[in-house]
């Protein structure tokens, strides 16, 4: 595991916090406040870039810590889908994903020594959404504004997802297999 006395999770996500706790490592939470805007159009490179940016933003302020950054994006029909900015946009995203397969990429990066990336990775999962009627989509829209794709697979009451190929933890926001490798 990480030799540094301090591990920082550069995320305010409660889901990432819960997943990281499963690994049994001690950590602090210091959310990064970096922009998620980028010109990058390749989803794998975008997920990696944003995870690195988040880890570095915090690591530059805490030279004695190892900082874990992560970013999750959804891709459907070649379109990169982030977090919805409005209930209307959430509804539009859910309609786009409705009944279709899409991909979820989560980039993770570990930074140390005041701002140096020592390891990064990107996990990919394929996700199939149920085909839901318009009224069900309207009811779901706006419930998960802080999630890429506007849905929360960990919410047992959310009927949107029917199948996942790949790591569930990746779809939730922190691929634990990759994180274990980062922390070795």
Give me the active site residues, please. Answer: 71
Cα–Cα distance measured from residue 66 to residue 25, given in angstroms and rounded to the nearest whole number: 12
- Give the strand pairing for 161-165 and 101-112: unpaired
Cα–Cα distance measured from residue 175 to residue 72, given in angstroms and rounded to the nearest whole number: 10
Contact predicate 76/99, CB 8 Å = no
Cα–Cα distance measured from residue 80 to residue 50, given in angstroms and rounded to the nearest whole number: 13
Beta bridge partners of 127: 102, 164
Sign of CA pseudo-dihedral 151, 153, 156, 158? positive
Neighbours of 152 (CB within 10 A): 20
DSSP string, 113-147: TTTEEEEEEEEEEEEEE----HHHHHHHTTTTTTS
């Amino acid at each position: 595991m990480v030799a540094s006395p301090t591990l920082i999770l550069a995320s305010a996500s409660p889901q990432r916090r819960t997943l990281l706790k499963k690994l049994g490592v001690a950590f602090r939470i210091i959310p990064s406040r970096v922009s998620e805007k980028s010109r990058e159009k390749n989803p794998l490179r975008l997920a990696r870039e944003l995870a690195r940016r988040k880890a570095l933003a915090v690591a530059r302020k805490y030279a004695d810590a190892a900082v874990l950054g992560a970013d999750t994006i959804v891709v459907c029909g070649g379109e990169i889908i982030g977090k919805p900015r409005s209930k209307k946009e959430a509804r539009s995203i859910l309609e786009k994903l409705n009944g279709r397969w899409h991909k979820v990429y989560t980039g993770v990066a570990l930074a140390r020594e005041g701002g140096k990336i020592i390891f990064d990775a990107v996990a990919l999962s394929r996700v199939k959404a149920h085909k839901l009627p318009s009224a069900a989509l309207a009811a779901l829209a706006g419930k998960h504004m802080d999630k890429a794709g506007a849905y929360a697979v960990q919410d047992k009451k959310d009927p949107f997802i029917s199948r996942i190929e790949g790591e569930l933890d990746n779809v939730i926001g922190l691929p634990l297999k990759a994180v274990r490798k980062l922390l070795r």
